[in-house]
Amino acid sequence: MAEPDKDVNKVAITNNDRPQLTMSRRAFVKGAAISAAGTVLLDGLSGPANAQALKSEAKMLGPGPVPLSLSVNGGTVVVRADPGTTLAEVLRSDLGLTGTKIGCDRGACSACTVWMDGDVVASCMTLAFDARGKQVRTIEGLAQGGKLHPVQQAFVDYDALQCGFCTPGMVMSCAALVERNRNCTLEDVKAAVSGHLCRCGAYPNIFKATLAAAGGRPQNQAGAKRGGR
């Protein structure tokens, strides 16, 4: 009878075209660790010239408040905020721009919508530090020279609001659509406000107002004005 293998920690490595090879588990694990370390070392060498240079390039922010410069409504402001502060919090608490509303505080209702480099964003889900170097515009900065934006004026003319809490965010999204596409359709408007929650149910007049602001006439309600709900 063949003598049993005394090394129970042997790992067999086989290949159909090669004779069977064996190695101990300890040797196998050790070899794998060395290979992994070598890969990490090579990755490190492919970056900055040395670790000291990498360390010097890294800038630690926080955990306490640090200076933050932002471009808001065409001007530059400097506040102190910690890296976990949202853009909505800075706008409302530090800059007094309370037109930006915080409803759900988790990006579900869109009441906090502002523009960042012309794109609509949920400011409650955007870190203030991510707005550095970008142009932020809020509802307070939408009017120009004392004249309301066409969408703002249309919201007034078409009574496109009730309680008004969702209105600033609605206006920002609808104005962004009109700025991009003056030939927008009813379906375009519905898509633009699809992430907005209006508990008052003012959607029909919001649609009419946005289409009117775009230069067209509200579909199926040409000439509808205040009281047309």
Confidence tier at 64 by pLDDT (50, 70, 90): confident
Query: Are 129 and 83 spatial neighbours (Cβ–Cβ below 8 Å)?
Result: yes
Token look-up 């203030």 returns 128
For the chain, what percent of residues have pLDDT higher than 70? 67
Residues 37 and 112 grouped into a single domain: no
Domains in the chain, number: 3
Q: With H, G, I as helix, E, B as strand and everything else as coil, classify residue 122.
A: strand
Domain membership flag for residue 225? yes
C-alpha–C-alpha distance, residues 11 and 176, integer Å:
64
For residue 154, the domain's CATH number is 1.10.150.120
Confidence tier at 2 by pLDDT (50, 70, 90): low
Residues 185 and 212 grouped into a single domain: yes
* Average pLDDT, integer, range 5-26: 50
- 3-state class percentages of the chain: helix first, strand second, coil last, to nearest 5: 40, 20, 45
C-alpha–C-alpha distance, residues 192 and 176, integer Å:
9
Could you report the per-residue pLDDT of 102-140, keeping only the tens digit for each? 999 999 999 999 999 999 999 999 999 999 999 999 999
Domain membership flag for residue 207? yes
Alpha helices in 77-202 (DSSP H): 87-89, 150-157, 167-180, 186-192
Q: Which structural domain, as residue segments, surrounds residue 226?
A: 143-229
Residues 93 and 37 grouped into a single domain: no
Would you say residue 38 has pLDDT above 90?
no
Token look-up 């009813």 returns 186
Domain membership flag for residue 52? no
C-alpha–C-alpha distance, residues 146 and 143, integer Å:
6
pLDDT confidence of residue 63: 80
| 113-116/119-122 β-pairing | antiparallel
pLDDT confidence of residue 124: 98
Residues 41 and 113 grouped into a single domain: no
Could you report the per-residue pLDDT of 182-206, keeping only the tens digit for each? 999 999 999 999 999 999 999 999 9
Amino acid identity, position 156: V
Q: With H, G, I as helix, E, B as strand and everything else as coil, classify residue 38.
A: helix
Beta bridge partners of 66: 81
C-alpha–C-alpha distance, residues 191 and 214, integer Å:
15
Among the candidates 115, 141, 167, a domain finishes at: 141
Domain membership flag for residue 55? no
Residues 170 and 137 grouped into a single domain: no
Token look-up 């999204």 returns 173
